[in-house]
Structure 1
Amino acid sequence: MKVFKFGGASVNSIERIQNVASILRSFSSEKILIVISAIGKTTNALEKVAEAFFEGEKEKALELFTAIKNEHLETAKQLLQQNVQRANDRLLDIFTEVEWLLHDRPVREFDYYYDQIVCTGELLSTAIISLYLNDQQISNTWIDVRDIFRTDNNFRDANIDWAFTEQQVNEQVLPLFDETNFVITQGFIGATADNESTTLGREGSDYTAAIFANMLNAESQTIWKDVEGVMNADPKLFPAAQLINELNYKEVIEMAYYGAQVIHPKTIKPLQNKNIPLLVKCFLNKDLPGTIIHNSKVNNLPPIIVIKTNQVLLQLNSKDYSFVGEHAVGKLYQLLEAQNMRPNLTQNAAISFVCCVDNKPEKIEKIAAAASEMFDVQLQKDLTLLTVRHYNNGILDELIADKKLLIKQQTVDTVQALVAAI
């Protein structure tokens, strides 16, 4: 048993969906649970629908959703030959879920409506792709993951009920593999005990795949991406970035912590618990080796560069020259937690404390206003945080050569620098 996950970029065109079919044909004799994300930028488009609806702009929301409907109907029309009507019927059922809601008016919190609307993207993509694969004689069974994944009602960042979900996997999913080799479902979503849709937060589709891998005792999980594998830097910023063939779970968690767009730590835990290797493969060329992530030690890693732009430095100074102690710093962390933010870098001195965070203006203003009751607060914006794991002499100097260095922190494995453009 294996688990595959195809992200939005791997299904964002007719050609790429056809490529998914080509990949799966080469695994036709294996049993695979396949998790698929929403097509391309569908999630972003659905977010705009949710925002318009919540702001009371019903007609705008319906208009935006109609555009999404038409795009998916056109995709189905171009892809399918035998199953066009079945696709239209299945898509209509999904459309109706949202349209019924959009004709109402919001009486609950935004996050609830976000989840009811945005979950549609994964349902639409998997419905089309499942029927297309059957059209191509690649037999598969489609399931609604909301019937399998039970969550709490923490909308937009729901928590899995592991015991109930595992029972559903054993009773509803495993038996399907007696009839077919491929089972197709959605990433990112689940449902409460009241059958209200939920989403699982950042990188939810990778996490979905990891949960299935854990509960199915899979031999591996593969994430198919539009890159060769995990790189030591963003190739868009560093053309000489190199492929890392092998990593361990700990290194990936460290990379994600510092802001690398790699694998979210919550995806790693279900795999690590059962020592299931994670493969990151290129869907544009399935024969490339990609990256394998496992539980063993890996030596001789290259410098790994992570860049976070649009950073803000919160500079907090004691109003009366008293020490900034644990109590005051603890209060600041409470303010950050209340806004669902975490510091990317901190530094404590006798009468001051500095904290680097992502620039989210509304949240920053709330934090700064509350912190001003205890501190003199200054904000410095438009900063960049550079992190280098496994650094060598000279690499940081090269990165900050044309920038003003504000803060530098260094350990045996990692160096960080907060800089401003000169």
Structure 2
Amino acid sequence: MVQPFVFKFGGASVKDAPAFQHVANILKSRWKNGLVVVVSASGDTTDHLERIIEKAYGEATYDTELADLESYHQAICASLFPADHGIFSQVANSFSQLKRKLGSDLRTEGKAFLYDQTIVFGELISTRILQEYLCMNGLFCVWQDARELIATDSTHKMGKVDWVLTMQRCRKYLSPKLEDYPVITQGFMGSDWLGNTTTLGREGSDFTAAILAVSLGAKSVSIWKDVAGILNGDPDLFPDAIKFDHLDFEEAAEMTYFGTKVIHPKTIKPLAKQKIPLYVKSFVNPDLPGTVIGSFEDHPKIPITIIKSKQVWITFRVRDLSKVGGFHYEEIFKTAKSFNWNINLLQSSAVTIHLVIDQPEQMPDPLPKQLLETFHVQKTENLRLVTVKNYDDTHEATYRNESKEVYLTEKSPNTLQMLLR
């Protein structure tokens, strides 16, 4: 059985006709049986589809937006294919299917269900275009619907992977194809046991690549980005940021947890468990070495700075002092889970718990009655959370001097976090 290589290309890599051509050039010099290519929706297609779905759910008109999105994809095809190529009818048929689904009674199943059944058309169309273009240029490959491979539960917009069933499907449906041809498939999507489409969460295509790599026992995963590799800081904020040549799985996992956006947070864990190396490569300059994430005991301990804006600080102070110490943590975490809060910092004392979370789409007001009966609650919005791994004393002093207000400071031997105005 062939041991696969998994490549993943994001939306920027297939945003227009020249980008598709560039992907083909990258693949041409790396073409081999056993290659799995995971592709996202073209450009900002997912953002446009989200707005269309919102209108469809609210029974507002969206015909113009849908027509514009179809024209965008047809224009890409017009620059890549001869006028009589079958891809034009394939794209038109996909948009006809999408329009039927948006206008159907799927709305009665809820917005999340409608979202999952329709948002995936971006990936389905982009992968059809790429597969047809590669074949037209002599790079023969197979198109594979990822929903036949990745099994999840029925949690829409954030499906939980059934790893055992996914591995069985990959070995049954995908492995035999890889013996003869490379395979083009989609990121971000799966299906539940009823056959309904599910999604893995926004930016979930990186995770798809990891799922397929683990399920197939891949040799490596390569994620092609518009950066040279992983840096120790956002280059827009830190012009002198340093690129890592190699990075340990644990260090990379912590970086994604604290907010580094180069790699999807769920991607690292399954690869680390199976010791499958992850390469972050430059889509712009594909011959550059990039960064490899793997098992490296000697990885460099240089400072890594991550800054997250739009943070909300919530303070829970116990009302009944007889409950001081170990009081009702479960109520706070139950609330956080029910509203899908992403907790970036937690700090507690005998009478108070501080949470720092990403600004949610909608902050519940008021909070659940049981929580308010137990705690006095205060919240402050529009803050910045600075996280420095492998920090030294100069980092805390620098941010204290630069900021008008420092609300919280949390330090461990390796990590400094500061909540700032």
Q: TM-score range by the shorter chain?
A: over 0.9
Give the Cα–Cα distance (whole angstroms) in 1 for the partners of residues 273 and 308 of structure 2.
Answer: 30
Matches within 5 A, 1:148-187: 148-180=149-181, 182-187=182-187
Deviation at 1:370, TM superposition (A): 5.6
Q: Take 1:282 and 1:399, find their aligned partners in 2: how far apart are those partners?
A: 32
- CA apart distance, 1:71: 0.8
Structure 1 counterpart SS, 2:393? coil
Q: How many aligned residue pairs are there?
A: 416
Cα deviation, 1:205-234, whole Å, max 9, x if unaligned, reads 111111111122111100000000111011
Look up the match of 2:78.
Answer: 77
The corresponding residue for 2:128 is 127
Cα displacement (A) at 1:358: 1.4
1:52 is matched with 55
Structure 2 CA distance for aligned equivalents of residues 342 and 31 of structure 1: 37
Q: Which runs of 5+ in 2 are unaligned?
A: none
Q: CA deviation at 1:283?
A: 0.7
| Contact kept? 2:102, 2:118, Cα under 8 Å | no
Q: 1:113 to 1:411 in 2, by over 3 A?
A: same
Residues 311-350 of structure 1 aligned to structure 2 (within 5 Å): 311-350=311-350
When normalised by structure 1's length, the TM-score is 0.93
- Tell me, what secondary structure is at the counterpart of 2:224? strand
Look up the match of 2:17.
14
Find out whether 1:390 has 2:390 as its counterpart: yes
CA distance in 2, matches of 1:348, 1:373: 19
Q: Is 1:3 aligned to residue 6 of structure 2?
A: yes
Partner of 1:39: 42
| Paired residues for 1:242-261 under 5 Å | 242-261=242-261
Preserved contact between residue 94 and residue 124 of structure 1 (Cα < 8 Å): yes
Shift of 1:314: 1.0
Partners of 1:66 and 1:325 lie apart in 2 by 59
Q: Give the drift of 1:129.
A: 1.0
Tell me by how many angstroms 1:9 deviates.
1.5
Deviations 1:253-296 (A, max 9, x none): 11111122132342123222321100000010011110101123
Relative to structure 1, the CA distance from residue 341 to residue 186 in structure 2 (aligned partners, 3 Å threshold; closer, same or farther) is same
Deviation at 1:53, TM superposition (A): 0.9
Structure 2 CA distance, aligned partners of 1:386 and 1:257? 13
The worse-fitting range, judged by mean Cα deviation, of 213-222 and 345-354 is 345-354
Task: Report the identity percentage.
Answer: 34
CA distance in 2, matches of 1:34, 1:135: 17
Question: Post-superposition shift, 1:107?
Answer: 0.8
- d(CA) in 2 for partners of 1:69 and 1:26? 32
Correspondence for 2:192:
192
Cα deviation for residue 361 of structure 1 reads 5.6
| Aligned twin of 1:110 | 111
Q: Secondary structure at the match of 1:416?
A: strand
Unpaired runs of 5+ residues, structure 1, are none
Structure 2 distance, partners of 1:380, 1:295, is 40
Letter aligned with residue 355 of structure 1: L
> Any idea what SS the aligned residue of 1:311 has?
strand
For residues 385 and 358 of structure 1, the distance between their equivalents in structure 2, rounded to whole angstroms, comes to 10
Instruction: Please list the CA deviations of residues 225-254 of structure 1 after superposition, one character each: whole Å capped at 9, or x if unmatched.
Output: 000011101111211111011111111111
Matches within 5 A, 1:401-416: 401-403=401-403, 404-416=405-417
Residue 26 to residue 69, structure 1, CA distance change in 2 (3 Å) = same
Q: Contact (CA 8 Å) 1:35, 1:184: kept in 2 or not?
A: yes
Structure 1 SS opposite 2:36 = strand
Whole-angstrom CA distance in 2 between matches of 1:79 and 1:322 = 72
Residue 129 of structure 2 aligns to a residue in which SS?
helix
Letter of the structure 2 residue corresponding to residue 266 of structure 1: K
Q: Which moved more, 1:398-407 or 1:245-254?
A: 398-407
Q: Measure, in 1, the Cα distance between the counterparts of 2:305 and 2:146.
A: 36
Instruction: Specify whether residues 160 and 348 from structure 1 end up closer, same or farther in structure 2 by C-alpha distance, changes over 3 A only.
Output: closer
Structure 1 residue 104: deviation in Å?
A: 2.4
Alignment partner of 1:24 is 2:27: yes
Deviates more, 1:405-414 or 1:21-30: 21-30
Aligned counterparts of 1:137 and 1:264: Cα–Cα separation in 2 = 33
Q: What TM-score, normalized to structure 2?
A: 0.94
8 Å CA contact 1:336–1:367 kept in 2: the answer is no
What amino acid does structure 2 have at the position aligned with 1:217? G
Q: 1:268 matched to which residue of 2?
A: 268
Deviation, structure 1 residue 39: 0.7
Matched residues in 2 for 1:40 and 1:370: separation?
44
**Contact 2:411–2:417 (CA<8 Å) still a contact in 1?**
yes
The letter for the 2-side match of 1:135 is: M
Tell me the C-alpha RMSD between the 2 structures: 1.9
Contact 1:43 1:121 in 2 (8 A): yes
1:70 partner amino acid:
S
| CA distance in structure 1 between the partners assigned to 2:310 and 2:136 by the alignment | 46
SS at match of 2:54: helix
CA distance 1:418–1:398, change in 2 (3 Å): same
2:176 is aligned with what amino acid? P
- Give the SS at the match of 1:241: coil
Q: Give the counterpart letter for 1:149 in structure 2.
A: I
- Residue 289 of structure 2: SS of its match in structure 1? coil
Does the 8 Å contact 1:232/1:303 carry over to 2? yes
Q: Aligned letter for 1:290?
A: G
Name the counterpart of 1:213. 213
Instruction: Quote the Cα distance in structure 1 between the aligned partners of 2:258 and 2:75.
Output: 41
Secondary structure of the corresponding residue to residue 343 of structure 2 = coil
| Cα separation, partners in 2 of 1:95 and 1:397, compared to 1, 3 Å | same
Determine if the alignment matches structure 1 residue 139 to structure 2 residue 140. yes
For 1:241 and 1:399, locate their aligned partners in 2 and report how far apart those are by CA, in whole Å.
Answer: 17
Q: Deviations over 1:107-142 (max 9, x none)?
A: 111110011111111001101111111222222111
Deviations 1:85-118 (A, max 9, x none): 3112222332232111222242111110011111
Q: Which amino acid aligns with 1:117?
A: T
